[in-house]
Chain A
């Protein structure tokens, strides 16, 4: 997937294999992985002669943003899918927490 993200244009399975030189992967392995990515919707592919050309469906940043939006519960859809460590708080509460943290730091600052 990193190879697809780094590539500016759609690339073939062979090109992906060539760019994964540090890992000695069989051509069929790369093909299978790309096929699976396409089925899951993470990659798009188009015919180019006898080969498929693959590209990333969305940028890496878009996926990170999606992940973090769900994690910070800003999607407006409150679901029990995840358990967050600390809930997002309002600005006024955040400043109250910062004050509490400062007070705590002073209390045992020695």
Chain B
């Protein structure tokens, strides 16, 4: 039991510097899809390992760990949780009953359960928030937006600011402001639409959702912030790549520059300083001077690493308790 807890704790601890390193690495823009896979594996591996390590410490403190081996993880955690509840009910007999070491174990179990609950809750809360915001968007678009032959399949909102975005979901929509229509030429508009269609078709919003949830829960954490903006940028690069397959990269690049530059006049710099510093510039540079994709051996190594990061904690949890 002790070995497994140490392994899980080590993995959970190692995920943090690994995420920081990945956020500042240069190679992800060469193969965004592979990098996103690694980000997902890091997130999943960290969650499993952190919850597992804390719960493992807690479980080790009750029944000599023997009930756990018969009933699996759930049984072990449940019996330990019952112990925890009993101790809490016991109130002032806490120290008398188990000693300080027992207290530490139960605190670890409580922290593990709390973390597990928190991770589940933030995902549900973030999804609900996203769905609510999208419903509001769709309702407003039904009232305000109209079609335009210059952007077939997209909705136009009469506003002078330059904005182009999509509302993903089952009833998806691509929205372009009148300002954008005036700003871009026909080829650039086609590139914007192709980019947004790529987002909608590949459901990039679902890729980003867990990282947004993590950011909401750990707003103070530099790693959570770095992870979110790194994945957000990689998703944009994926959509750029998809759009570039059918349309010239140059139009997409100039469209990005025009929309990005026009948006700057309205943005309060303080509120947005944290998001996407140099993001547009990075995407433009990548479109105009394509970087070679990662060689196959590197891809294989990264995928193997991703499988290990998420798979080892999952295997330890499934087989050891």
Is A85's CB under 8 angstroms from B192's CB? yes
Contact stretch, chosen from A13-21, A22-30, A45-53, A62-70: A62-70
Is B140's CB under 8 angstroms from A93's CB? no
B301 to chain A, nearest CB (A): 30
Contact stretch, chosen from B8-16, B82-90, B253-261, B308-316: B253-261
Q: Which chain B positions have C-beta within 8 A of A64?
A: 144, 157-159
Q: Which chain A positions have C-beta within 8 A of B163?
A: 68, 71-72, 84-85
Is B140's CB under 8 angstroms from A90's CB? no
A interface, how many residues as a size bin? 35 or more
Contact stretch, chosen from B18-26, B57-65, B102-110, B273-281: B273-281
Given the known interface contacts A70-B133, A89-B267, A97-B257, the answer about A83 and B166 at a Cβ–Cβ threshold of 8 Å is: yes
Is B281's CB under 8 angstroms from A100's CB? yes
Is A85's CB under 8 angstroms from B259's CB? yes
CB of B177 closer than 8 Å to a CB of A: yes
**A-contacting residues, B88-134, CB 8 Å:** 126, 129-130, 133-134
Q: How far is the CA of A83 from the CA of B208 in the complex (A)?
A: 10
> Mask for A75-108, Cβ within 8 A of B = 1, else 0?
0101111111111111111111110110010000
CB of B242 closer than 8 Å to a CB of A: no
Extra inter-chain contacts (4) besides given A40-B139, A72-B266, CB under 8 Å? A80-B208, A83-B166, A85-B165, A90-B277
Out of B199, B257, B261, B263, which one reaches A72, CB within 8 Å?
B263
Q: Which chain B positions have C-beta within 8 A of A42?
A: 139, 143
CB of B284 closer than 8 Å to a CB of A: yes
Q: Which chain B positions have C-beta within 8 A of A79?
A: 126, 129-130, 133, 212
Is B196's CB under 8 angstroms from A85's CB? yes
Q: Which chain A positions have C-beta within 8 A of B199?
A: 83
What is A's interface to B at a CB cutoff of 8 Å?
1, 40, 42, 60, 63-68, 70-74, 76, 78-98, 100-101, 104
Is B177's CB under 8 angstroms from A71's CB? yes
Q: Which chain B positions have C-beta within 8 A of A101?
A: 254, 257-258, 261
Q: Which chain A positions have C-beta within 8 A of B44?
A: none
Given the known interface contacts A86-B256, A86-B263, the answer about A91 and B269 at a Cβ–Cβ threshold of 8 Å is: yes
Is B133's CB under 8 angstroms from A93's CB? no
CB of B272 closer than 8 Å to a CB of A: yes
Name, among A74, A76, A78, the residue most crowded by chain B CB atoms within 10 Å (CB to CB): A78
CB of B303 closer than 8 Å to a CB of A: no
B216 to chain A, nearest CB (A): 8
Is A97's CB under 8 angstroms from B196's CB? no
9 nearest A-B residue pairs (beta carbon):
A94-B264, A81-B133, A85-B164, A87-B276, A88-B267, A97-B261, A80-B212, A90-B269, A86-B259
